[in-house]
Structure 1
């Protein structure tokens, strides 16, 4: 395995952006010791190009004939190493130098076989998977869980299509499609698609939260669907109003605070499994953040954009820039620790505070490439300045190949998250 060639560009005309990307890729492929002929490409475009998705894929496929498999999607923004293209026409491509027997591109016309059952005659079995999904797909949460069950590790990473126009996904598989779908263009609307990886592909993946609890966690003791009725046997609405210090009798003062308040949900212990160590003032990866969608003064309940069964844990929270920044630094440090567990401490801490990207320490295991999926509500000004989120990642990981997109929801493990970032790196031995 060699470092993954990658490129990114912005231009009002997609053909010019594609020409810039192709020039960068060819220059990297020509370097001594570069990947010989990567067969898998990840392609991310901003929604400015969404209407031209088929033409873009056809053009890039023709210009890169050695690439036989494509996967990707569209976002309101896309990510690359040290830069984000937010609300502007841009595209990014990464060529993954992986053995063809260690991955499969899947989609509605090339589905992924269930774990433990051969996916076709070659017997490929998925260990992990990069997933792109349309938010309008019915029963999406259940489909994500089912997809996780089709992998031996149960681990997914990815996100929901983020687009203000066409919600498209790229998925072209050299392994073939279902009978009768041989003419599929590789551009899809709706459903799930992505790339499954075999056990020979080494990954490190982490979830970084973007919200901070405003008070302690409580147990849901009564609920009716998505209406939480009581927390620790106290009416949920009463708890919410007391924690926020507001009253419904003063709606002008209460509404802005309510609109800014979210809930962090933790499944019951039996479903959550082993919980991560609790960090003061921060959520762990087992927590999913959801919106408050209504109040029920009659039943003293709080309606949320999810189902909170009795026994689950709930904490009211709010988006917080400082918490998001600190948690992103934390997950980057955890990735570095897995790459070089014995030599990381003060050097990393110093590097993370250093404005120079090349101050990051060099790992014992190298990063071949990385995918970063962040919430569309996190990018840009949320971190203080354009590209600040991706600059944090680069200061920690160094100048590594990285692509990704800003999503309408993030996928990690077998869950759908919100206001988070999912950082996944492909590793290779030095």
Structure 2
């Protein structure tokens, strides 16, 4: 697998931005280390271009006739290997050189079938999937679980389209020549779309959290749908107020603290959280809840039952901790997942020359073959981004410093998807492995 060409640009006129991106792609495709004949294009645009989504896709297809398959969506911001474009007109493209029998583009009119890979259904067997979704869909959690069951690996990664207006998704295969798609343009609103990958497409994926616990991890011992009634046998509202050191006798400062507080949830069978986090320490990463923690808003208080309403269904036995967004914790956890990916992909023994080449450098450097990264997709929460990390494009600069100047595209989502779950305030980093057979999506 060769390095994936990628390009990104901002301009008030989408045609000018597209021209700049195309120039970058063509220049890279002429280099020997980059793929010259990629077949899958990943396209992400900011919501400034949402009204021109169909025209942008048509233009790119006409300019790149050798790229028959496209997928992507819109976000309030988009990510590239060294930049974040938030609340400005921009687009990013990465051209993936994958064998045509190792992936399938799917959408609402050409869904990922239940019987793919079964006798008589063709040779393609989906193992994992890059997913773009509409957050307004009913029972989205159930749809994610059902879609994950259609893959042998059970792993989804991606996010919810975001923006102030229309939120189109791109999904086209072979210029529309895919069963079920017919003459559809390849631009959709609502539903699910994306790319399914066979097990022959090696990748490594990690989830990074952006919050820090403000109290111990507790067990939900009583609840009613979305209302947590008891934590470790104590009234949940009383536990919240004691953790935040506030009282409803002084409601204004108490409500301000509650509004700034989130909850981290983990299923009863998660197994990763067997003990509490000390107050004000740790982060929701591998050390505590693990990547399976789901951060949710507190949406209301129930003084009559001393309960807390959260933005997710809860069950007795689930683990929960109160938390807050924390830039320092988010930075540490982002560095952690990048380090894990590097350790996964770099050779155990290297020469001095390779060690120097793999060392992070402040200036741009070409991806080194020893790192074996062909390209990467990063989906981050719309509430994160550079400003949350201390400056413009700071989040992507952390990733670049850790992984090197690798091709990367992505977007800032209304919710992040990993495993079979919808997350919040997280980042999902997935890299495609060149010249390897490891697949470690977790």
- TM-score class normalised by the smaller sequence: over 0.9
The 3 A distance-change label for structure 1 pair 60 and 118 is farther
How far residue 342 of structure 1 moved from its aligned partner, in angstroms, is: 2.7
In structure 2, what is the equivalent of residue 324 of structure 1? Answer: 330
Unpaired stretches in structure 2, ≥5 consecutive residues: 285-289, 351-355, 437-442
Residue 331 of structure 1: CA displacement? 0.2
Query: TM-score when scaled to structure 1?
Result: 0.93
How far apart are the structure 2 equivalents of 1:395 and 1:277? 34
Which residue of the partner structure matches residue 281 of structure 1?
282
Partner of residue 261, structure 2 = 261
- Native 8 Å contact 1:409 1:417 kept in 2: yes
- The 1-side partners of 2:235 and 2:204 are apart by 41
Answer yes or no: is 1:208 the counterpart of 2:208.
Answer: yes
Label 1:162 to 1:351 Cα distance change in 2 as closer, same or farther (>3 A). farther
CA apart distance, 1:252: 1.6
For residue 21 of structure 1, give the secondary structure of its aligned residue in structure 2: helix
2:429 paired residue among 390, 415, 423: 423
Residue 319 (structure 2) pairs with residue 308 (structure 1): no
State the Cα distance separating 1:115 from its structure 2 match: 6.1
Deviation by residue 1:347-381 (Cα, 9 ceiling, x = unmatched):
xxx99997715699957341000000000000131
Q: Quote the Cα distance in structure 2 between the aligned partners of 1:290 and 1:150.
A: 27
- Per the TM alignment, residue 255 of structure 1 is displaced from its structure 2 partner at its CA by 1.7
- Superposed CA deviations along residues 211-253 of structure 1, whole A, max 9, x for unmatched, are 0100111000000000000000000000000000011111121
Counterpart for residue 59 of structure 1: 59
Distance 1:321 1:171 in 2: 35
Aligned to 2:348: 342
- Provide the C-alpha distance between the structure 1 equivalents of 2:408 and 2:313, rounded to a whole number of angstroms: 35
Paired positions, count: 425
Distance in 1 separating the partners of 2:187 and 2:434: 31
* Cα displacement string for residues 80-126 of structure 1 (whole angstroms, at most 9, x for unaligned residues): 00111011000000000000000000001111122664497532110
Tell me whether 402-411 or 110-119 shows the greater mean CA deviation. 110-119
Give the aligned partner of residue 347 of structure 1.
none
Q: How far did 1:29 drift?
A: 1.1
Deviations 1:45-72 (A, max 9, x none): 0000000000100111011000100000
Distance in 2 separating the partners of 1:353 and 1:219: 43
Contact persistence 2:342–2:371 (CA under 8 A): no
Distance 1:278 1:118 in 2: 46
1:371-390 matches, within 5 Å, as: 371-390=377-396
1:291-333: CA deviation from partner (whole Å, max 9, x where unpaired): 0000000000000000110000010000000000000000000
Q: Name the structure 2 match of 1:190.
A: 190
Is the 8 Å Cα contact of residues 346 and 372 (structure 2) preserved in structure 1? no
